[in-house]
Amino acid sequence: MNRNRIYSFSLLLAGIIVLFAGCKTVRPTIPGKLSAMGKEERIASVQYQSIPFNTLSSSLRFSVKQQTKKNTTSANARLQIVKDKIIRLSLRIPILGTELARISITPEQIIFIDRMNKRYASESMQKFQEIAKFDFDFYSLQALFTNQLFIPGKSSITSDDYAAFKWSEDQSFVKLNTMDNQGIHYDFISDSGDRIIQTEMYKNKKETNMNWQYNDFGSASNNRSFPMKMTVELTAPKDFITLNLIFNNVDIDTDFETDDSIPPGYQPVKIEQIIQLIQSFL
């Protein structure tokens, strides 16, 4: 994935969240002294701190700010994830909760449903990668939304994969770095509690292309720690985009409907039209 593809990834990610998209006690990240651990023990501890789930769902409020525009875009949404199977983001009407639009992503397919205009677009992930001109990785996106450590292109990490990470730490923070076969770096920063508080993606460290920050750790429904606020900074050509996602009532392993069949009477459109629509928001 070259630099242009990183820009495309950043823009599309911002567009996806822009278009389709009771607080609990929070525990702010406070620098503390790291416990003494070796590399493998540290990585295992970071993985252990990640929230275990089969399904994850939450209402959320997001806002998007572009450096080139004065206004901030904000909306209500709902995020639903079935681990390793589907990521779904839906745009909702405030108070009523009625769905306006939805994007569903699986490892094999991507589906857009526009309920306002009664239209849809469906494409295989392989074809979508070719059209959008970047190597879209379902598992990496799932990990970013759920505060997980990941290796690009792999659905999970085992102890056999620990050698893929470079490891460094100071008194308060740990950095784990891995690189894909296109020279894209991934930095994972964890705190003294071994929680991931930042994930960066870049080709050149001087020009970080994505910085995904995790804050306001609170309790999900299974009483495990989860970041209730995520701030995503995206470097794009001639622009700098900031997204804030505020989660509320993160439910773990609760049942929800996963049927993404196309409603009767909806008109098909080409995926290129949806990509153009997303880009028009940016």
Residue 33, Cβ neighbours under 10 Å: how many?
8
- Residue pair 112/100 in contact by the 8 Å Cβ criterion: no
pLDDT at 29: 53
CA–CA separation, 178 vs 162, rounded Å? Answer: 10
Burial of 199 (0-12, 13-18, 19+ CB in 10 A): buried
pLDDT at 96: 66
pLDDT (tens, 9 = 90+) of the chain, 282 residues, equals: 444 444 444 445 555 544 433 333 344 455 678 888 899 999 999 999 999 999 999 999 888 887 877 777 777 889 999 999 999 988 877 666 678 888 899 999 888 888 888 999 888 887 776 765 555 688 999 999 999 999 988 999 999 999 999 999 988 899 999 998 878 899 999 999 999 999 998 887 666 688 999 999 999 999 999 999 999 988 866 778 888 999 999 999 999 888 778 899 999 998 777 666 555 544
pLDDT at 268: 93
Structurally, how many domains does the chain consist of? 1
Q: What's the CATH number where 91 sits?
A: 2.50.20.10
Q: Which residues have C-beta within 8 Å of that of residue 130, sequence separation ≥ 6?
A: none
pTM over 0.75: yes
96 φ/ψ angles, rounded to the nearest 5 degrees: -70, -35
pLDDT at 228: 97
Q: Domain range spanning residue 129?
A: 3-280
pLDDT at 150: 95
- Alpha helices in 119-270, H assignment, sequence order: 125-132, 138-145
188 φ/ψ angles, rounded to the nearest 5 degrees: -115, 120
pLDDT at 176: 97
